[in-house]
Structure 1
Amino acid sequence: MMKEQRITFFLDEWEKVKDELHGRFSKREQNDVPELMKKGIALFYEMIFWCNKGSVEFSREELEQLDLKPINAVERLSFITSRPSNYHSYVQLTELFIELEKIFSKEQIMKKASKP
């Protein structure tokens, strides 16, 4: 699977998880929220590493070294993982996905523009 296809897969999977989470938070149902958030967090980690180098390494040091990442990604992920049931964690995770998608798209456009 090519890099772009892999990123599209992660975004599609995130949309499914996000819809489930939105429904749970809208109805104030917390029963499946921690598991859904963990799935979303895992998808974000996979996506951020695939955007950068294609292999996933779940260490803070590796994450800090990545070129393509949202601003304050490490700190924001720390907040999210420490409070996965919190609505604000869901909002932050959603924003991280949006920002990373934009960063990746911009990088792909720049690569295509620099090719002769």
Structure 2
Amino acid sequence: MIKVKRESIEKEVVEPYFEQWNELSSHIHKAHDLRNGEAKSLMDKGILLFENCIVNCSETTSQSINESEEYEVLPINGMERLQFIKTRPGQYACFRQLDELFKELKKRLARLRISA
């Protein structure tokens, strides 16, 4: 298991990820409503943002997420859910799933900060 990097889960460090996701998610939601074909490319950005947050909050030298590893910071079934999202990023269900992963990640990081 790849452990959490304590100094990287401080609220000031991780909050920009969630602020960016809030902005991006509103654009993704709008793209789904308009059915303009932009949702997939926006979701690709969201997936990358989520993965960057996971990697930066973990004790790893890798620059990208390793799907065969377990990460302490990932929510329950996070890797399986992320793989599902990556197979069909243009689907609305995947957008909802990524949104839930961001919410659960925020809560998990808060719990990890408290237990530090």
The question of whether the paired residues in 1 share the 8 Å contact of 2:54 and 2:65 is answered with: no
- Give the aligned residue type for 2:56: W
Corresponding residue number in structure 1 for 2:17: 10
**CA RMSD, 1 decimal:** 1.7
**Runs of at least 4 residues of structure 1 off by over 6 A?**
none
Higher relative contact order (CA 8 A, sep 6+): 2
Corresponding residue number in structure 1 for 2:73: 68
Q: Specify every segment of 5 or more residues in structure 2 that has no aligned partner in the other structure, as ranges.
A: 1-6
The question of whether the paired residues in 1 share the 8 Å contact of 2:85 and 2:97 is answered with: yes
Q: 2:102 aligns with which of 97, 102, 110?
A: 97
Structure 1 residue matching 2:64: 3-state secondary structure: coil
Cα displacement (A) at 1:38 = 0.3
Report the TM-score, using the length of structure 1 for normalisation.
0.82
Number of residue pairs the alignment of both structures matches: 107
Which piece of structure 1 moves more, 44-53 or 13-22?
44-53
Does residue 82 of structure 2 align to residue 77 of structure 1?
yes
| Greater helix content | 1
- Please list the CA deviations of residues 67-98 of structure 1 after superposition, one character each: whole Å capped at 9, or x if unmatched: 12111111111110010100000000000000
Does residue 49 of structure 2 align to residue 43 of structure 1?
yes
Following the alignment from structure 2 to structure 1, what is the Cα–Cα distance between the partners of residues 54 and 114? 17
Following the alignment from structure 1 to structure 2, what is the Cα–Cα distance between the partners of residues 102 and 42? 20
Following the alignment from structure 1 to structure 2, what is the Cα–Cα distance between the partners of residues 85 and 47? 21
- Give the aligned residue type for 2:15: T
Following the alignment from structure 1 to structure 2, what is the Cα–Cα distance between the partners of residues 109 and 32? 39
Report the TM-score, using the length of structure 2 for normalisation.
0.82
Q: Specify every segment of 5 or more residues in structure 1 that has no aligned partner in the other structure, as ranges.
A: 112-116
